[in-house]
Amino acid sequence: MTAKRRSLFTRLSWCWLLLALPLLAHAQLRIEIVDGVEGAMPIAVVPFAWEADGPPPATAISDIISANLYRSGLFAPMEERDMIDRPSRPPEVRFGTWRLQRVDHLLIGRVTDSPDGFGQEIEYHLLDVHSGRVLLSRAQPVGPGDLRLGAHRVSDAVYEALIGIPGAFATRIAYVTVSDLGGEDELFELVVADADGFNPQAIVRNTQPILSPSWSPDGRQLAYVSFATGRSNVVVQDLYTGQNRTVSSDRGINGAPAFSPDGRYLAMSLSRTGSSEIWLLDLQTDRLQQLTNHWSINTEPAFSPDGRAIYFTSDRAGRPQVYAMNLDGTDVRRVTHEGRYNARATIGPDGQRLAVVHGDGNDFRIALHHRDSGQLRVLSNGPLDESPSFAPNGSMILYAARRGEQGILAAVSADGRVRQTLVASAADVREPAWSPLIR
């Protein structure tokens, strides 16, 4: 490329970037429910009374909670217009009315200014309509401007009280969007958004590919692969300070970063020796240790939740399959056997279920492998599904799919019964990664 062409290229990119920026700020994922569960639990989330200073937020807290519960596929929230009563305190509840309307549970509450004058408080009560018992009675503090997060935390508590496992609504997702800048040029953005798709923020923008985002266990950092230099590098970026550090830029591939559950190590696939191998980087001492030593492709490391094993993809038997090994690289054993192509394992929080990309001819779907039975169960419809990522509570698996020529995100419940798609209006969306639970 001559100097003149390069300067034109730079000018063009900036020009389109300027145009695109205001659009991208609104490029929010739209969630569509494809399949829900029959017999979802009927619940009524009554609009919370607004008793705080200033005007109530544009989106009511009860609407956010209802939407969360509905999206889980396990609840059927009542429409607000069908509600006869609007109680906000337990003594105001007339259970008979709700029983007649065939509601099992009732969530009521109110928002007040925080006693310490800093932000607000969501006081809420979860009631069993049949027994009249109060199941939960809590006050959720919210920082200034954090009402959405507060609503997600209330949703988490309700989910846990009724389902028995923690909710994953107050979490975030990372993903990569790709938009056309005209001609050959594309804009790659690494985006972090709330788990319901709101508040999307691009934390990295580049005209070169970005892939494989991976969360640190404290939810503070993202490791990812950047081609910003024209070659693959592994970068770790702090989400709060914006600071980033290139942790691997050797010759060959620097890819597939995965944090250990204690956050101290980063497993990666590096081909500095000539073939791609799994390496372990100690983030405190910068010491690098080679774990695999095999001429095949060894990539996509993933730690078991107890941090004692690393799963990875290798084609040492001819086709890609998932293997496991100890942290020092010993005791390599093959994990998946069913089918010709199993790759990119993501491990459920119980350590027993692995979601993988399962390939059969031209068809690639997300499948769940059960460690105890060795059985593989296909969950998604294909034909080009990839990059599975478990919700931190194990309830759902988020993955990348295709709708026509557009890349979208999709989610399926671990039992395969609930499905939804997350679509951005213009851009291609890919490479989702669900954050850990953030306390």
For position 209 contacting another protein by CB under 8 A, the verdict is: yes
Q: Quick one: 151 or 234, whose CB is closer to another protein?
A: 234
Among 166, 402, 416, 437, binds another protein (CB under 8 A): 402
For position 134 contacting another protein by CB under 8 A, the verdict is: no
For position 182 contacting another protein by CB under 8 A, the verdict is: yes
CB-based contacts of 332-337 (< 8 A; 24+ apart in sequence):
332/292, 335/311, 335/369, 335/371, 336/369, 336/376, 337/374
Q: Which residue has the tokens 């990812």?
A: 224
Q: Quick one: 2 or 241, whose CB is closer to another protein?
A: 2
For position 231 contacting another protein by CB under 8 A, the verdict is: yes
Helical (H) or strand (E) element with 71: helix 61-71
Total Cβ atoms within 10 A of residue 383: 13
Plot region of 17 (φ>0 → left; ψ -120 to 50 → alpha; else → beta): alpha
What is the token pair recorded at 82?
């069908």
Among 3, 18, 58, 84, binds another protein (CB under 8 A): 18
For position 19 contacting another protein by CB under 8 A, the verdict is: yes
Binding residues for another protein restricted to 350-369, rule: CB under 8 A: 357, 359, 362, 364
What minimum distance in Å lies between the beta carbon of 178 and another protein? 9
For position 280 contacting another protein by CB under 8 A, the verdict is: no
For position 319 contacting another protein by CB under 8 A, the verdict is: yes
Strand-pair partners of 16: none
What minimum distance in Å lies between the beta carbon of 308 and another protein? 23
Alpha-carbon distances of 8 from 11, 14, 19, 229, 405, rounded to whole Å: 5, 10, 17, 19, 29
**What is the C-alpha separation between 309 and 326, in angstroms, rounded?**
5
For position 161 contacting another protein by CB under 8 A, the verdict is: no
**What is the C-alpha separation between 256 and 299, in angstroms, rounded?**
7
Helical (H) or strand (E) element with 143: none
Looking at 110-118, 155-163, 249-257, 283-291, which segment touches another protein (CB under 8 A)? 249-257
**What is the C-alpha separation between 352 and 315, in angstroms, rounded?**
23
Looking at 42-50, 62-70, 223-231, 278-286, which segment touches another protein (CB under 8 A)? 223-231
Q: Is the dihedral of CA 84, 90, 92, 97 positive or negative?
A: positive
For position 383 contacting another protein by CB under 8 A, the verdict is: yes
Binding residues for another protein restricted to 183-202, rule: CB under 8 A: 183
Footprint of another protein on this chain (CB under 8 A)?
Answer: 2, 8, 11-12, 15-16, 18-19, 182-183, 209, 211-212, 227, 230-232, 251-253, 255-256, 269, 271, 274, 276, 297-300, 313, 315, 319-320, 341, 343-344, 357, 359, 362, 364, 383-384, 386-387, 402, 405, 431
